[in-house]
Structure 1
Amino acid sequence: MNFNIIGYLIYLGITTFIILKVGKICYKNGNIYVADLIPNHADICQRINQVLLLAYYLLNIGYCAMTLISWKKIISSTQVIETICTKTAVIIFIISILHYLNILIITKYVEKLIHNN
């Protein structure tokens, strides 16, 4: 039995679910947040949020797929679980950092625009 293939499939399933779920939540709530930062420009806010969502999906799903090459040979079911948990934790950590960086960057940019006007 090839434990790596089993691990890959479980890992990609879990991380894809997490990425899609978090992306949907951030997109929904991000529209409100961006609209509040840039009032009276709903169309621009919607487009900004769509670009952020697309970049989020591409970056995270691409990273998840790329990490598969770094896996060592898995020889037991215990090692499958440990590897999946470790790799999934890294993805969750990266998602949270990206989320806060996006909020920080957007907030600083809008503050800069407000102070310049």
Structure 2
Amino acid sequence: MDLTVVAYIAYLVISVVLTVWVARTLSRNGRVFLADVLRGDEGLADAVNRLLVVGFYLVNFGFVALYLRQDATIDTVRYLFEGLSVKLGVVLLVLGVMHLGNVYVLNRIRRRGALDREQQPPVPPQGWTPPAARA
């Protein structure tokens, strides 16, 4: 078997495994954060979490597929490892940027919700008191 084909297979297997692992980890650990962002609405948090995972898979698998092509011929094991390290490094960077982008956006939503909650009084007004007379 040609080493270029071996590189393709290794790249696809490792990229898919990494993407699935990162998506599951983010989904499992991000659920609590989403529930906080969405003010404790567990059903909505679960739905948003699933939608984020699907979007994460689509973007990352699409990138992995587009980045599959290898222009140089791989004729030694050394070039196989060097090519794989570059490709997998780029995939890992894309996964990290996607994660940081999601956390940034959700944190902005969470902060905006916290500001909205601060502007509402904790209890409704109890009555009206006339202003004191000036002396």
TM-score between both structures, scaled by the size of structure 1:
0.91
Deviation at 1:74, TM superposition (A): 1.4
Q: From the CA coordinates, give the structure whose radius of gyration is larger.
A: 2
Distance across 2 between alignment mates of 1:116 and 1:37 = 12
Q: Percent identity?
A: 21
Q: Does 1:56 find its partner at 2:69?
A: no
Give the corresponding residue for 1:43.
43
* Residue identity in the other structure for 1:115: L
**Separation in 1, partners of 2:6, 2:89:** 18
* Aligned length in residues: 117
Q: Which has the higher contact order (CA 8 A, sep 6+)?
A: 1
- Give a deviation string over 1:39-75, Cα, whole Å, max 9, x none: 2311111111111101111111111111112542212
- Higher mean Cα deviation, 53-62 or 33-42? 33-42
Corresponding position of 1:27? 27
- Segments of structure 1 that go 5 or more residues without pairing to the other structure are none
CA drift at 1:97: 1.3
Question: 2 CA distance for matches of 1:116 and 1:21?
Answer: 35
Q: Which residue of 2 aligns with 1:96?
A: 96
Q: List runs of 5+ in structure 2 lacking aligned partners.
A: 118-135
- Secondary structure of 1:69 counterpart: coil
Please give the per-residue CA displacement for 1:55-109, whole angstroms capped at 9, x wherever unaligned.
1111111111111125422121110111011110111111111111100111102
